[in-house]
Amino acid sequence: MSEIANVFTLDGQRIAFEPGQSILTAALAAGAYIPHLCAHPDFPPHGSCKLCTVAVNGRNGSACTVTAAPGQDVRSKTPELNEIRRVLLQMLFVEGNHFCPGCEKSGQCKLQALAYDVAMLSPHFVQFFPHREVDASHPDFFLDFNRCIMCELCVRASRDMDGKNVFALAGRGRGSHIVVNSPSGKLGDTDFAVTDKAAQVCPVGAILRKEIGFVTPIGARLYDHAPISQVDLAAEEK
């Protein structure tokens, strides 16, 4: 009796996987792109943003948390799933204050790049315009809460890799927000450092290094000449 091959299909493409791999990890390793935002190869799957939602044997699930299994029929590039992704991105944009033309992260921002990738042409929903602070107390970083999408990458990086617990998520529902673990609540009163993993993982413009915002000019940035699907897959191959 022959063993069942560790292969599933993604939009008709056969994807080989290693036991224990998620659908997302296996797909990216095979050169097949599934949109994602909160997933990061250095951390366990989180499943918070839901942009990697796929249909697995007809049922929707997060590709970053669903374990690959032989014979799965996975669909990602469908009009229905892309519409779900557009709505999720529209909600992320209106929930915060994302002004891409004036943002230092423009062209390097995964939120912006994904919006282009799924043809999000308008915010659709009423803009919240929340009042949020900008913390410039740290000598090397700005912390702009206006752009935070609560992916918790900085929280996980600071806790699991830096061993510092600089960031945490507080509140519930619409009141959820990132907080800084210091008596003053200011980043400048922590031991946050340039070498921290948490300083490098923010996919948007919430954690910004000072004095280097436009060292790479707009027009020569990561996503300026190629869609995020091509850029991310090229990075996987390196």
Higher model confidence: residue 3 or residue 65? 65
Do 112 and 15 fall within a single domain? no
Nearest Cα to 54, choosing from 11, 105, 91? 11
Q: Check which CATH number belongs to the domain holding 22 and give it.
A: 3.10.20.740
Q: Tell whether 224 is covered by a domain.
A: no
Cβ within 8 Å of residue 183, ≥6 positions away: 189
pLDDT of residue 47: 87
156-191 exposure pattern, b = at least 16 Cβ within 10 A, e = fewer: bbbbeebebebbebeeeeeeeebebbeeeeebbebe
% of the chain at pLDDT higher than 70: 98
Q: Tell whether 230 is covered by a domain.
A: no
pLDDT(2) > 60 = no
Do 51 and 89 fall within a single domain? no
Q: What is the pLDDT of residues 188-218, one digit of tens each?
A: 999 999 999 999 999 999 999 999 988 999 8
pLDDT of residue 3: 63
Per-residue confidence band for 31, with pLDDT thresholds at 50, 70 and 90? very high
Q: Tell whether 116 is covered by a domain.
A: yes
Q: Tell whether 56 is covered by a domain.
A: yes
Radius of gyration of the chain (CA): 19
Do 28 and 88 fall within a single domain? no
pLDDT of residue 68: 98
H or E, element range at 180: strand 177-180
Q: Tell whether 223 is covered by a domain.
A: no
Domain that holds residue 188: 83-213
Do 149 and 46 fall within a single domain? no
pLDDT of residue 1: 38
Do 38 and 68 fall within a single domain? yes
Mean pLDDT over residues 63-71, rounded? Answer: 97
pLDDT(178) > 60 = yes
pLDDT(4) > 80 = no
Q: Tell whether 233 is covered by a domain.
A: no
Question: How many domains, the chain?
Answer: 2
Mean pLDDT over residues 23-49, rounded? Answer: 94
pLDDT(172) > 90 = no
Q: Tell whether 60 is covered by a domain.
A: yes
Q: Check which CATH number belongs to the domain holding 143 and give it.
A: 3.30.70.20
Do 41 and 159 fall within a single domain? no
Q: Tell whether 219 is covered by a domain.
A: no
